[in-house]
Amino acid sequence: MAVKRYDGSAWQVVAGKGDQGTSSSISTWVKTASGGETSLSGNDDNSQALSYTVGQELVFINGTLLKRGSDYTATNGTSITGLTALAANDVATVWTVNAFSVTGAIANTIVDAKGDLLVGTAADTPGRLAVGTNGQVLTADSTTGTGLKWAAVAAGGKVLQVVTATYSTQISSTSTTYADTGLTASITPSSTSSKVLVLVSQGIWVARNSTGSGVFAQLQRNGTAIQTVWQQVEAAQPGGNPVVIATQLPYIKLDSPSSTSSVTYKTQFKLSAANAGWSAEANYQTDSNIVLLEIGA
């Protein structure tokens, strides 16, 4: 809205034409007189310097509006002169009216919902980017009208969860049929696209005193073998002394279970041949360990 002042005969627009895209602001300068002043200048009681646009100032003494040209003179923008001498504690107030344009201001109707964003769609051209869905992130995309888009968080290559287990109870076998080692762990992937990196250190002890091969160990997922490892045992030593091997068999398997249900991994072992004097021990005098890492796809 426009600000007007009365010049003694008519109201004159000081600043602002609300119907033409402009408005106005008013700053206030207040000074308490010590007595005898006939002019105003410098800093006021709030350390604000007197500054005004000539012809767009309003001067008050103790709340009474003075008439420009009769009660005071204002010609340079930094001082008011020609006042009747002020008394001590008189309060002089100068209102400075300044026009400013609101043409080109962004209308609040451009946004429609909580979370909408104002974005540039071209030079000097604002636009609206509608709010995304929960959990999405803002991503640059030059193919869209705003140059931006909401997208799901890319989780590729990140470890989303870790499950570990240890087993140390010794398990014996002289069979060529797979038997559980007791080492097992379960994980529930958060997405069907996730992979599971399986790391196993399986303690194995093997003894033999005849010709033959060695011991097999395998990794299972939900009862299905997904990896097999093999440990060779050499021929008996001279004099028929048995060969004994104690080792930690490693498994490293990047698995794709394609499931969001609980998935169980476990290890098994068996002898390659059932010969007299053959035996194997899982977890012999050592811990066996399994680590499951869900990797975001």
What does the pLDDT read at residue 18?
45
Q: 58 pLDDT exceeds 50?
A: yes
Distance CA 31, CA 86 (A): 11
Handedness of CA 9, 11, 13, 15 (dihedral sign): positive
Q: Which of 43-57, 89-103, 139-153, 256-270 has the lowest mean pLDDT?
A: 89-103
Q: Indicate the helix (H) or strand (E) that contains 26.
A: strand 22-32
pTM above 0.75, yes or no: no
Backbone angles phi and psi of 32, in degrees to 5? -90, 125
pLDDT in tens, 120-146: 899 988 999 999 999 888 999 999 999
> What angle is formed at CA 63 by the lines to CA 25 and CA 98, rounded to 5 degrees?
15
> How far is residue 225 from each of residues 87, 221, 247, measured CA to CA in Å?
103, 6, 22
Distance CA 205, CA 246 (A): 4
**Domain annotation for the chain: domains and CATH numbers:** 3-101 (no CATH), 108-151 (no CATH), 159-295 (2.60.120.760)
Distance CA 57, CA 65 (A): 11
pLDDT in tens, 155-164: 567 899 999 9
Please answer whether residues 148 and 158 qualify as being in contact, where contact means their C-beta atoms are separated by less than 8 angstroms.
no
Q: How does residue 248 score in pLDDT terms, banded at 50, 70 and 90?
A: confident
What does the pLDDT read at residue 20?
45
What does the pLDDT read at residue 21?
44
Q: Indicate the helix (H) or strand (E) that contains 161.
A: strand 159-167
Q: What average pLDDT score do residues 221-226 get?
A: 96
Q: 264 pLDDT exceeds 60?
A: yes
What does the pLDDT read at residue 291?
97
| % of the chain with per-residue pLDDT over 70 | 81
Q: What is the DSSP string of 204-261?
A: EEEEESSS--EEEEEEEETTEEEEEEEEE-PPPPGGGPPEEEEEEEEEEEEE----SS
3-class secondary structure, 293 = strand
First to last CA, the chain: 59
Q: How does residue 102 score in pLDDT terms, banded at 50, 70 and 90?
A: low
